Amino acid sequence: MSAATKPPVASFPQFLNEVVPVVEQASIDEFYLDLTGCERIYPEILSFGSFVKEYLAKELKLPCTIGIASNKLVSKIAVNQVKPNGLIQIEHGREAEFLAPLPVGEMPGIGKATQREMDKLGIRTLGQIAAASESFLGGYFGAWGIEFKQLAMGVDDAPVTPWSDPKSIGRETTFEHDVGDSDHLLSILSSFIEECSAELRKYHFKARTVTVKFRLPDFTTFERSKTVPATDDEVEIYKTAETLFLKHWKRDVKLRLIGVSVSHFTTPQKNQDLFPDTSREKREQIAKQVDQIRAKYGFEAIHLGSSLRI
């Protein structure tokens, strides 16, 4: 039994690990729980979901959306149907029935381009994908078409994987159409770096390596890295990423993909500097306030002016 939760709070993992043996943190505010073998402790699974929601509401004054199902895929889609602050259980054996009326865009992995292709074929719901033959879907979408059919039937064997310290934190995106506008590309990098920096602070890490990644239309991929003083400051990380990107990207070449990552983590040490950097200290205070706002209202509540949300 898998449950997906989506609470906007950074301290939530500690609570989950105290009440469930297997917890996977999929993102800064998304978790999967494996309750297999917990039937004696939590005989009524909906009651467990209510317990989690009540704890968050009472102790942390925060909402939480929970989807309970037999696998990660269905629980994730279920969560999206009852936002915000909902609770839903999809009983084992009724996964396909639940998914059938939903639009194809509800399926993770089906982007806008694939939706348009499916629409041309008259496929608009997950039930229609499930009903289509493997040969038909495979003919149009290759191996992904067969995978889509299995997922649309509610079949997902992906395990709930316990969290471990990440070796790197990064974000990237592939464009539907090649992009060559430098302001647009740098704005995307800025938004990604915001997310990476927030994640660094959440784990109490600082990074010593910044890496920029981009891919050309012919699928040639470049990665360029630079070692920097350990930091979790998005301003410092962005300056490094911007310099790397503009140095190695030829302006007359459009890009298919762009991304950024940070790695080689250290744990911040509290040292007394003889000559403190007051501007950095001010940014650290602002970052703390921003993190508090996001913890209460969600990550999308506040952003840098230079960031482009995609």
Instruction: Report the half-sphere exposure of 61 (CA within 13 A, side-chain side).
Output: 3
Cα 4 from Cα 70, distance rounded (Å)? 11
Tell me, yes or no, if 30 is annotated catalytic.
Answer: yes
Q: From the candidates 18, 24, 30, 234, which is the catalytic residue?
A: 30
Instruction: Please state, as a whole number, how many other Cβ atoms lie within 10 Å of the Cβ of residue 117.
Output: 13
Which tokens hold the place of 82? 């009852």
What residue ranges in 70-167 does DSSP mark as E strands?
Answer: 87-89
Task: Return the amino acid letter for 118.
Answer: M
Task: Return the amino acid letter for 129.
Answer: I
Residue 101's SS3 state is coil
Task: Render the burial of 285-294: b for 16+ CB within 10 Å, e for the rest.
Answer: eebeebbeeb
Cα 229 from Cα 232, distance rounded (Å)? 10
The residues that are catalytic are 30
